[in-house]
Copies of this chain bind each other. A is one copy, B any other.
Amino acid sequence: MLVQIRKDTLINAVQHVLRAVAVNSPIPILQGIDIHAGTDGIILTASNISMTIQYKIPQDNVSTTVQRAGAVVIPARYFYDVIRKLNNEVVVLELKDKLVLTVMSGGSRVSLCGMDSTEFPSLNNEELYSKRMQINNLMFRSAIKQVAIVASTSETRPVLTGVFFECDNDSLNLIATDGIRLAYQNLHNKNSSNDNFKAIIPAKNLYEISKMLIDDDVTTEIEVSGNRIQFKASGLKVQSALIDGTFPSIKNVVPKSYLCEILVNRIGLLQAVECVTVLASESVIKLVADPNKLKLLSSTAEVGDIENEVSLMEMLGDGFNISLNGKFLIDILRNCDCTSLRLKYAGKNNPIAVLPNDSGISTLFLITPIRTHT
C-alpha cells in the first residue's frame, strides 16, 4: 500500500468509523481499523460485531491518490491520536513490511504495527437485502432522538434495548419501551417502497447512525435482511445486527379512553419539571391538574420542598392527581420539537399519555405512574 491523502480527509473518515471500534474488546483486531487501498480509493472499516461501519474515500488524484494497493488493520486509537497531531496537510501511508504501516507527514515518521486484514470481520456484502425503504435524514434523526432514549439500558430483556421498526406500506412505526415508559412514532414515509418488514434494532447503534446522517435534505437508503439492517449514505455504509425476539405489542398498553386532557406550553412545562425534580426524592414528582393550572410538587426529607405552577392553555375533564418519575418526563420534553403538548390522564392505574401538539408526525409517549401513599 502506498497512499497520499489530505490530513483533513483522513481524519474525517477515521472519525466516522471510530464509532464502531470496540475500544475495550478482548479481541485485539476489533480495536483496529481496516484500511483497504484499491484502484478506486481507500475503504476504512471498523466493527464491534453488533455494528460495522464502512467509509469510502474515493481516489480523485487531488486530495487522495492510491499509488499501490494493499490492506492492513491498525490500532484505531493510536492511529487517530497520531494523525490529529501531525502538522503537515498531506499524509503518506505506506505498508513497507507486510504488517507495518508507516505514516509520513512533514517532519514526522510513524511506524504502527498492524494486523492481518483478511482476519477482519468485513461488511456482509453478498447477503441479499430483500426489503428496502428510504427515509429523510432530518425526519430520521428527529425520530431516533425522541424514541431511542426510552429504550432500556438493562440487558435483562434484550428486546427492550432495541427500537422496533414496523414498516407497513407507506408508513413506518418506531416503538421503544423500557417497561415503565414507552415512545411511539408513526412516520408517514412517502419515499418508502412497498416492502413490509419488522425489525428490532439496538437503540445505541441507531443513536450512532443518526449522528452520522447529518445532511438534512438527503434521503438514506435502508435495507433489511433476516438478521441485519443496512444504512447507505454517500461514502458511508453501516450495518447493524438485529435483536432476535418478539417486541411486546402496544395494543393493550395504550389507554382506550381518557378521563382528563390538558394542553400546555412545552418549554414552560420543561422548566417547571426541571425545577421541581431538583428536590424530588428518587425523582418522584406529583402533578395536580386543576382548572386553569397544573401544579407540580416534590420534596426531599430534611432538605425541603418545591411547588411550581404552569398555566394551562386548554383543559377537558375534571383534573387529576398523579405521581411519576420527573426525569422520564424531562427526557420527553427535551427531545420534542413542538411548542405545546397534551397530557392525557386515564385513571390512577393507567399510564399517562404525552402527545406533541403538532401536525404531520404522529407521536405518543406513555409514562407509568408511581403509586404513592399520599
Chain A contact residues, CB within 8 Å of chain B: 75, 78, 81-82, 85-87, 100, 107-113, 268, 271-272, 274-275, 278-279, 300, 302-311
Contact = CB atoms under 8 A, between A and B. Distances in A.
A275 B85 contact: yes
Contacts of A100: 304
Nearest to A101: B304
Contact of A309 (B82, B107, B309): B107
B272 A82 contact: no
Given A87-B268, A268-B87, A108 B304 contact: no
B303 A85 contact: no
Counted per complex, copies of this chain come to 2
10 contacts: A78-B300, A78-B304, A85-B278, A87-B275, A108-B272, A110-B279, A110-B307, A111-B304, A113-B302, A113-B304
A265 to B, nearest CB: 11
A304 B112 contact: yes
Contacts of A82: 275, 278-279, 306
A85 B274 contact: yes
Interface centre among A100, A107, A110, A305 (most CB of B within 10 A): A107
B274 A308 contact: no
A83 to B, nearest CB: 9
Nearest to A111: B304
Contacts of A274: 85
A152 to B, nearest CB: 27
A326 B75 CA distance: 21
Nearest to A302: B113
Contact of A306 (B109, B271, B300, B304): B109
